Structure 1
Amino acid sequence: MLTEIEAVIFDLDGTLVDSMWVWSQIDIDFLGKYGLTVPAGLQNDLEGMSFTETAVYFKKRFSLPETVEEIKQVWQDMAMDAYCTAVPLKPGAKEFIAYLKEKNIRLAVASSNSYGLIDAVLKSHGVREYFDSIITSCQVNKGKPAPDVYLEAARQLHTEVSQCLVFEDIIPGILAGKNAGMRVCAVDDRYSRPQEKEKKETADYFITSYHQVIEGSYEET
């Protein structure tokens, strides 16, 4: 999998960290303040959207009085404690990150989440210093499945797209990596498990643990 790879780019939520449960609860608590319940299929509608795109969607769909920036700040404040104290890395992630750095492979996170939460969770696990760049979809023109955030990551890492390997957990993210011309490894996550067949069909590889990459026991799809 790592043959001729000079840079590895990770999505964050559901890929590098097990955090999707945080957002399910935030949706409930946030909308509950307005006397609203979470509509069926909301998470599916939001897949791949940047933090800003998601706030725009919420403001319009639920007719919220706050500005987009205010909504984003509320969400970040609601999630920060969990990202600092309760969100774990995915199995084998810390060992894999160290393994990549030993091989002098450049590392980045390219995520739809906010910079503040990405930075906080990486610091909480003592791995922030391993990453050369953090790129959010809010910094580019379009969220996933557009390739923009991965192309920007490659630019910041000074690496050709053909030498970049992406790790992603959902279909829009996998497509974003493929649309950027990169190889993509799909990562198992319980929130996207119903998509597993499609994930394997879309990505180049599939893992349930990062130990599989180190051991060479990953699945080629």
Structure 2
Amino acid sequence: MKLKALIFDLDGTFAETERDGHRVAFNRAFGEARVGWHWDVALYGQLLAVTGGKERIRYYLEHYQQDFCPPVALDEFIAKLHQAKTRYYIELLKEQGIPLRPGVLRLLHAAREQGLRLAIATTTTPENVTALVSTGIGRHALDWFDCIAAGDIVKAKKPAPDIYDYCLEQLQLEAGQCLAFEDSANGVRAAVDAGIRVVVTVNDYTRDEDFAGADLVLNHLGEPGQPCQVLSGKLDGFEYVKVDLLRRLSGEDEE
């Protein structure tokens, strides 16, 4: 089946946004709310097992702050706290930016030049997608993506396959015509359960996770003069991820 689209996760895959982006924004929101919480690097790494910011706050309350009494209804409190976090995250991006990971921009350009469609499938909010793409590439790059599936657009978040199922529906493509890029075990499970092959680029938080089902696991996508390191799978003689390699991974050359 011919490869027709690349679908990218955002946080941790596009850019290293978690530790010095989202975590910092959560802590600023906690300070604004005067709840006295602080998520350090190690704790945040544990909380990343829960996908979705609002879900992460709820999990933290259930497991670390059982005695906390919110000033308003819990759902409303979590929603407002998450809105504040999103505001701080966007401010952070505008203040200092977060560079894209090696190979991401190069591969986006190459895919477009070779006629592949692009999409984003992420649990982060649409506002965060806009902010990261706009500051990392330019606001014009939002038009590169035929589908941006983000936030609460589906009820069940990764590792459920719903966000990928939604993407396939919007693209009007079959799973075998797409290839996904992820950085976490939850993301891999979501893509695999939707029938989509997956390339993983690990980061410091996800390096030791179980990526069963992924076709290729790398440290990053690589650049000319900056080859990627293979953690699982084969590069078939390539030094970095190119569209020709992705076509082989998709099984296109087997037809």
1:137-170 per-residue CA deviation (whole Å, 9 max, x = no partner) reads 4110201100000110111111111111110001
| Corresponding residue SS for 1:70 | helix
Does residue 1:171 correspond to 2:185, yes or no?
yes
Choose between structure 1 and 2 for higher RCO, CA contacts under 8 A separated by at least 6 residues.
Answer: 1
1:18-46 per-residue CA deviation (whole Å, 9 max, x = no partner) reads 21121232344444531234386454344
How many Å separate the matches in 2 of 1:217 and 1:30? 42
Report how many residues are paired: 214
Amino acid paired to 1:93: V
The residue aligned with 1:47 is: 49
Amino acid paired to 2:53: F
Amino acid paired to 2:111: L
1:161 to 175, 189, 208: 175
Unaligned runs of 5+ in 2: 223-239, 250-255
Shift in alpha-carbon separation, 1:8–1:217, aligned structure 2, 3 A:
closer
How many Å separate the matches in 1 of 2:50 and 2:176? 22
- Give the superposition deviation at 1:55: 4.3
- Look at both structures and tell me which one has the larger radius of gyration over its CA atoms: 2
Query: What root-mean-square deviation, in Å, do the aligned CA atoms of Structure 1 and Structure 2 show?
Result: 2.5
| Corresponding residue SS for 2:14 | coil
Does residue 1:76 correspond to 2:74, yes or no?
no
1:111 to 114, 117, 122: 122
Does residue 1:38 correspond to 2:49, yes or no?
no
| Corresponding residue SS for 1:156 | helix
How many Å separate the matches in 2 of 1:190 and 1:138? 27
CA contact (8 A) 2:5 2:118 kept: yes
How many Å separate the matches in 2 of 1:54 and 1:77? 17
How many Å separate the matches in 1 of 2:50 and 2:165? 15
2:242 to 206, 214, 219: 214
Shift in alpha-carbon separation, 1:217–1:103, aligned structure 2, 3 A:
closer
Amino acid paired to 2:205: Y
